Amino acid sequence: MNQSGLHLAIIMDGNGRWAEQRGLPRPAGHRAGARAVRAVVEAAPALGIGTLTLYAFSADNWRRPPREVAALMGLLRRFAIQEAQVLAKADVRLSFIGRRDRLPGPMLEAMAKSEALTATGRSLHLRVAVDYSARDALLHAARHLAQAPAATREGFGALLGSPDVDLLVRTGGDQRLSDFLLWECAYAELMFLPVAWPDFGPADLAACVGDFRARDRRFGGLTAPAPASAR
């Protein structure tokens, strides 16, 4: 499978509660969450997932205690450094979405290096959202739109830089979008699971994709649209 496959977006929620239930500090939940990320990334291509977008740190997460923010930044930086080689070997492209003007220097450096090292990956495009807000992304794109008044939906989508999401999964039991990929999720299938992110594994991923494939997507019409190649 390749990047023309399914676009799956995941809101990885429940790390903190997972840790607290075990009497552990919250960052231990995020570390367990990073292990779940590795397993899901490994399993994704065989399930027909071409693009996987993970919500790792929202623009509103800066409001968390400084210790937790620092732990998350450290974890994401280590992930970028340590996983880049593994991802490159597995033919996975890693890139980051979100603002880059508020991140610590070492984080930015690790992001740029891992993106360069994995740039040719074709089996999966793994996109990690850091300091991300869909509303900010929309505002940013709208400012550019002012210079191109004849813009189309496709053109605006291209300004946002994200493909449409086919399936959005949120773990952790809450049922909201939390400012994630709001434009791109216009016709996404939504799945809200009670499982905490660190407990989400390849079997859960396969079940989600199976459920998705059984859904009837009509995009406002009465039948599913024909594939682009047949139109």
Active site residue ranges:
13, 61
Q: Which stretch binds ligand FPP (CB under 6 A): 28-36, 103-111, 133-141, 214-222?
A: 28-36
Q: Which stretch binds ligand FPP (CB under 6 A): 53-61, 91-99, 140-148, 150-158?
A: 53-61
Q: Does 61 bind ligand FPP (CB under 6 A)?
A: yes
* Closer CB to ligand FPP, 128 or 188, in the complex: 128
Report the alpha-carbon distance of residue 11 to residue 54 in Å, rounded: 6
Report the alpha-carbon distance of residue 144 to residue 142 in Å, rounded: 5
Q: Does 54 bind ligand FPP (CB under 6 A)?
A: yes
Residue 31 in contact with residue 78, Cβ under 8 Å?
no
Token output for 140: 């940013």
Q: Which stretch binds ligand FPP (CB under 6 A): 69-77, 104-112, 145-153, 222-230?
A: 69-77
* Closer CB to ligand FPP, 99 or 157, in the complex: 99
Cα dihedral 56, 58, 64, 65 sign? positive
CB of 154 to ligand FPP, least distance (A): 29
Q: Does 7 bind ligand FPP (CB under 6 A)?
A: no
> Helix, strand, or coil here: 23?
coil
Report the alpha-carbon distance of residue 48 to residue 160 in Å, rounded: 24
